[in-house]
Amino acid sequence: MRFSRSLTLSSALFLCALTLRPQIIGVAPLFPLIQQDLHLPHTVVGLLGTVPVLCMGVFAPLAPFLRHRLRTLPAITASLALIALFGLTRSLTPGALVLVLLTFGVGAGIGLGGALLPVAVKEQFPDQSVRTSGIYASGIQLGSTISAAAAVPLAIALGGWRSALLAFSLATAALTIAWVGLTRSASTEAAANARPRFAFNNPIAWRLALAFALFGIFYYGLSAWLTAAYVARGWSLPQAAGLVAVVNAGSLVGSVLLPVFARRIASRSRTGAMMAATLVVASLGIAAVPALAFLWAGLAGLANGALFPLIIALPVEASEQPDEVGAISGVMLGAGYTLAAIAPSGFGAIRDLTGSFTPILWLIVVAAVLLLATSLSFDGIRRPRYY
């Protein structure tokens, strides 16, 4: 019975995680089509990547308040419903302004859901933080991979980029129904009596926020503009979009392999530094050796996929209770995503100003180097007793 319950809840977390990136990562390969259809500059179309990431930063600190009122699993259900509802509406509405405005609703759901998942891990799997974080991180990466790979083919097959967004949103609605079915009988902690708090005075929270911000600048900057950068280098749109798919496929592999690294390498700093160094090599290759772009994309994805669950598991490891996870995660995700949100639209503005994607690619290298330096502090986080 215990194994059955664990399998059911792990599956629910995995399916939930599938919904958290298609509305960001799956949109990026469509940027050239959206620009052509709506006659938008790079700065504006970049808002479709910036707004969800910004919302992830703004709404992550609010997740403990939603949990306070609804409890964790019902709060996640509400978050998924927001993604589906606003995603469906966004795919059907005309005009750039409304498209961007509705993206705020999509981002709110993503931000709340992403911040609540670590709390659910602490509640349901208190002694398996890295393993369970790896499971839902794999779901995030699989959702990213499928959406990145399918976006352009869906747009071509179904008659436009809006049809691709509609397909992503319908899939989110279906996964929300599956989540409800799997968690309906799951036990959940009662809503907290104490008012939610933030770990503003916790140096670990701010250390993790910096690492997460650099990670986000790298990942969302690369995801937003890798396709367009290689189209500008003469690649076809499907071929260039394939690079983003390879990044996310590599990320899926990396997230699966992380528990192996966690068992065999005691030092969190050593694991993080190895992966961050790989990001440096991959980003240098993307910027300077485009002939091997698929190799660099795969390496970037592999390291990215291992780093993501490692970082998001650290608040769980640094906490004794679910409320503590929410307090540290609120700062880490709130500040981290808010800073990372500059990448899609900010990098687009740089492209508009310079007329070239080259400065963007080198800024991504800089983010990887800074992340490498920051990862050396991960050993300051308390390790769990079980994996």
**Any domain includes 386:** no
Quote the pLDDT of residue 383: 43
pLDDT value at residue 385 = 37
**The domain containing residue 124 runs over which residues?**
2-185+197-380
In a domain, 385, yes or no: no
Q: Has residue 190 been placed in a domain? A: no
Work out the burial of residue 94: count CB atoms within 10 Å of its CB; fewer than 13 is exposed, 13-18 middle, 19 or more buried: exposed
pLDDT at 1: 43
The two structure tokens encoding residue 76: 């996640």
Asked if the structure places residue 228 within a domain, the reply is: yes
Note the pLDDT tens digit of each residue in 194-233: 566 666 777 778 888 899 999 999 999 999 899 999 999 9
Query: For residue 384, what pLDDT is reported?
Result: 40
**What is the value of pTM for the model shown?**
0.80
pLDDT in tens, 106-136: 999 999 998 888 888 777 776 666 667 778 8
Q: Please state, in angstroms and rounded to a whole number, the distance separating the CA atoms of residues 332 and 172.
A: 26
If you search the block for the tokens 């050396």, which residue do you land on? 376
Could you tell me how many residues make up the chain?
387
Predicted pLDDT at 164: 95
Would residue 106 count as lying in a domain? yes
CB atoms under 10 Å from CB of 66, counted, come to 21
Decide if 99 is inside a domain. Answer: yes
User: In this structure, is residue 387 part of a structural domain?
Assistant: no
Q: What CA–CA distances, in Å, run from 353 to 30, 75, 232?
A: 22, 42, 15
pLDDT at 382: 52
Classify residue 11 by its DSSP letter: H
Burial of 18 (0-12, 13-18, 19+ CB in 10 A): buried
Which residue numbers in the chain have pLDDT < 70? Answer: 1-3, 126-131, 186-199, 258-267, 316-323, 326, 379-387
CATH code, domain with 28: 1.20.1250.20
**192 domain residue, yes or no:** no
Task: Give one DSSP letter per residue of 231-262, joined into a string.
Answer: HHTT--HHHHHHHHHHHHHHHHHHHHHHHHHH
Residue 137 pLDDT: 80
Chain centroid to Cα 142, Å, comes to 11
pLDDT computed for residue 287 by the predictor: 96
Q: Per the structure, how many domains does the chain have?
A: 1
Our CA angle for 83, 297, 139, nearest 5°, is 35
Write down the residue that tokens 């966690």 correspond to.
262
